[in-house]
Amino acid sequence: MAHQITMYTTGVCPYCVMAERYLKGKGVTELHKIRVDLDPSQRETMIHLTGRRTVPQIFINETHVGGYDDLVALDRAGGLAPLLANLTSGQ
């Protein structure tokens, strides 16, 4: 997979900025951002994949993590570290 962490985002989304900072704080160095405000077809793809209309929508590999609050909750529950570990181990 070319991009292991993908985030659907817009140019003016504070939660997207917080999610990116949070991931960087966890050691993430590469994040593929898809701007749904610049390409409406990407928003349709995001909605199809997630069932959600809001950004950010974060995927780690094929796992849909959700938005910023979901990302933080996943980390607090101990589920984020294993997903990120799979990235560094090459799966």
* Cα gap 47→43, rounded to integer Å: 6
pLDDT digits over 53-90, tens only?
999 999 999 999 999 999 999 999 999 999 999 886 55
Alpha helical stretches, state H, the chain: 14-25, 40-50, 68-76, 80-88
* Residue 90 maps to a domain: no
Within a domain: residue 32? Answer: yes
Number of compact structural domains in the chain: 1
pTM beyond 0.75, yes or no: yes
Per the structure, the complete domain to which residue 16 belongs is given by: 5-66
Tell whether 73 is covered by a domain: no
Q: What is the mean pLDDT of the chain?
A: 93
- Whichever domain contains 46, its CATH number is 3.40.30.10
The answer to whether residue 87 sits within a structural domain is no
Closest CA to 87 of 42, 34, 23: 23
- Percent of the chain that is helix, strand, coil (3-state, to 5): 45, 20, 35
